[in-house]
A = this chain, B = another copy of it.
Amino acid sequence: TAEGGSQQVVAQAAGSGPTYTGLTVTTEDNITTIMLNRPAKKNAITTEMYTELVSALDRAGKDSSVLTVITGAGDFYCSGNDLSNFTKIPEGGIDALAKKSGELLRSYVQAYIDFPKPLVAVMNGPAVGISVTVLPLFELVYATDRATLHTPFSQLGQSPEGCSSYTFPKIMGGSKASEMLLFNKKLTAAQACDQGLVTEVFPDASFQTEVWSRIKAYAKLPPNSLALSKQLIRSAERERLTAVNGAEVERLVERWQSDECMAAIMGFFQGKSKL
């Protein structure tokens, strides 16, 4: 049964868990940690890793942990969507690739919208694109002072995703959101904290120590109170966020099929465009 399957997953998550190619997932001290583990590519997210992340979030949501953490291996948090995802053109051509990528993106963002427990980003370095846009769907975002946040959508002929077209203006007001989402402004961690996108910034030297002692203390709070309070807050927005996710993906699938976007991505690969 589905129930039985779910219990099996819990048992696995508490133990060794499933094996992923681009992630390392561990559970300790009531905290499940999902680490993007592709440091040689600055933890850029491949098509395979999107699927793995959806699965890992689904398992973490059902396991017995109190908090779930997402972090990156090495010096980068995450460099966003791996643009080489766009170079493996399937039989159906660009249109089929765009549609398939859109569906994957939609389900990826929905996994954040529906996540049932407090979610914490331990931002160990710079973040780009989709790894920045989903941050407002986390409960806490702790960043090293080495981190930067960058969403260069228009430079790549694309448009906002991760619900950022709704959450960024909501958090920081439209004019600060436009700087990031339309005009490619890169923020320092401190600027992002001022704008409410980052909860708190820590000196890089003590980042891991300070952040993890904080998270371990929070993981001892009454678990149902935490989960139900998070769900209560999210419930006021879930329908809206789901609709925004759908609208963003629809627009992006069109963009991916446009000449303007093609030319911009081509320019990036040819080194003509510096982000």
Chain A interfacial positions (CB closer than 8 Å to B): 118, 135-141, 153-160, 165-167, 169-179, 181-184, 195-199, 218, 221-226, 228-230, 232-233, 235-237, 240, 244, 247-248, 251, 254-255, 258, 260-261, 264
Contacts of A182 in B (CB 8 A): 118, 139, 226, 229-230
- Interchain nearest-CB distance for A98 vs B (Å): 15
A118, B222: Cβ atoms under 8 Å? Answer: no
- Cβ–Cβ contact A225 & B153, under 8 A: yes
What chain B residues lie within 8 Å of A232 (beta carbons)?
159-160, 165, 247-248, 251
Q: CB distance B165 to A179 under 8 Å? A: no
B residues near A222, Cβ cutoff 8 Å: 154-155, 157, 260-261, 264
Q: List 26 A-B contacts (CB under 8 A).
A: A136-B173, A136-B174, A138-B175, A139-B174, A153-B229, A154-B229, A159-B225, A159-B232, A160-B229, A165-B236, A166-B233, A166-B236, A170-B170, A173-B195, A173-B196, A175-B196, A176-B196, A182-B226, A182-B230, A183-B218, A184-B221, A224-B258, A224-B260, A232-B251, A236-B244, A236-B247
How many protomers of this protein does the assembly include?
Answer: 3
Say whether chain A's binding surface is mostly helix, strand, loop, or mixed: helix
